[in-house]
Amino acid sequence: MKYKIQANASGTRSIEIDDVHMQTIEKYGLLQNLAGSTGIIDEDVLEKLRLHCRSILETQSEVDRELMNLCLDVVYHPNMKAIGLQNLQKAFGEWKQSLKEEEPKEEEPKEEQ
């Protein structure tokens, strides 16, 4: 599934995100505790995410193509601003919620007669 997030306040720029990007964000926990105790997402928080991604890539023995694609397509995208990161975080929450709704419910054990 593709998601389109608004990347700037005026709505003239957007970034497309797909399920692989979302899975990579989840795999590395990239959005967890990102904004700190204030909950405010600004350019410093975006820079923190960029540095964190770069650090992960530099410390891996093999390059994770999915993380590299996330960086190129989203995190380091020229249109990505703080509002884009805020919208990414919102889209990620919606994606996680849709996964929970899609999970098949466990069947109740049948009683033997």
Task: Answer with the residue of higher pLDDT: 110 or 96.
Answer: 96
This model's pTM is above 0.85: no
| SS3 labels along the chain | CEEEEECCCCCCCEEEEEHHHHHHHHHHCCCCCCCCCCCCCCHHHHHHHHHHHHHHHHHCCCCCHHHHHHHHHHHCCCCCCHHHHHHHHHHHHHHHHHHHHHCCCCCCCCCCC
pLDDT tens by residue, 29-73: 999 888 777 788 999 999 999 999 999 999 999 989 999 999 999
pLDDT tens by residue, 71-105: 999 999 999 999 999 999 999 999 999 988 887 65
- Using the predicted structure, report yes or no on whether residue 113 has a pLDDT greater than 90: no
pLDDT of residue 110: 56
